[in-house]
Amino acid sequence: MNETQKTIEDFGEQWQTFRSNPGFYGAVALLSDIMGPLLPAEDLRGARVAEIGSGTGRIVNMLLDAGASHVWAVEPSAAMDILQANTAGRSGKITCLPIPGEQLPADLGLEYVFSIGVIHHIPDPRPVLHAAYRALRPGGKLLIWVYGREGNETYLSFAEPMRKMTKRLPHFALLALTAVLYVFLELYIFLCRFLPLPMHVYMRNVLARFPHVTRYMTIYDQLNPAYAKYYREAEARALVADAGFQDVRLYHRHDYSWSVIGTKPENPKAGQSGR
């Protein structure tokens, strides 16, 4: 089993355990926080969009709550049944595609394609971005959110060595370790209320607003996948630009991650064709 297949399997198992998206974790306000100044949520009203790596349907529901008219939800893992359950009652506005991102159908004429928290788990994401390009109408936009290396240096100094072990742990053992680390996370969040510790803005403004079960899941999420890449600014920009997108802009979200948006040219021959 290669890294890509193992990562899909890991997330399928993860979402079988952490099925719900409560409170701020599943709110349009968090989607707006992720997109930042790159894309106002109100621009999604009436839009036809796709989301690559839909997991339990969290972002799908956010997009529909923001006013998207239809969402193509791409999810290759065993989480598809959970996604369908979490979006029940909205089936007329969702097309569920149990396929990897690079198989997103071409020529859908979409206004937007999103991939939030997914690209950094794909060893070679270029085919996925080319598929997104082909699915968009001319002038359509791609927005991705990826882990950043800038701003995460302190965290990565201990998280990356730890992941070499934890990504090999069985599910039950990783859950037990997560329970231990959760105590330290809660203490760190508390201290960030008073001290300018690394990532204190994110801790106060985002993670502290998550329900406890979601904070627990966040730890598991960091330790579980077989593959995770932390992108430098230049790498994130080049990834989108090299897929043929123009007017590529980045937002250093809470100084620890990158939101990136790019536009498919009105005349696609002016850029790459999403090969």
Phi, psi of 183 (to 5 degrees): -60, -45
CA distance 242 to 40: 25
Q: pLDDT tens digits, the chain, 275 residues: what are they? A: 788 888 999 999 999 999 999 999 999 999 999 999 999 999 999 999 999 999 999 999 999 999 999 999 999 999 999 999 999 988 799 999 999 999 999 989 999 999 999 999 999 999 999 999 999 999 999 999 999 999 999 999 999 999 999 999 999 999 999 999 999 999 999 999 999 999 999 999 999 999 999 999 999 999 999 999 999 999 999 999 999 999 999 999 999 999 999 999 998 765 555 55
**Which residues, listed in sequence order, are joined to residue 231 by a DSSP beta bridge?**
148
Give the global pTM: 0.94
| DSSP state string for 175-226 | HHHHHHHHHHHHHHHHHHTTS--TTHHHHHHTGGGS-HHHHHHHHHHHH--S
Average pLDDT of the chain is 94
Distance of CA 242 to the CA centre of its chain: 20
Q: Which domains does the chain have, with CATH numbers?
A: 3-149+229-270 (3.40.50.150), 153-223 (no CATH)
**Which residues, listed in sequence order, are joined to residue 261 by a DSSP beta bridge?**
143, 249
- The string of pLDDT tens digits covering residues 10-34 is 999 999 999 999 999 999 999 999 9
- The string of pLDDT tens digits covering residues 40-75 is 999 999 999 999 999 999 999 999 999 999 999 999
Q: Any residues with CB less than 8 A from the CB of 90 and at least 6 apart, and which? A: 61, 64
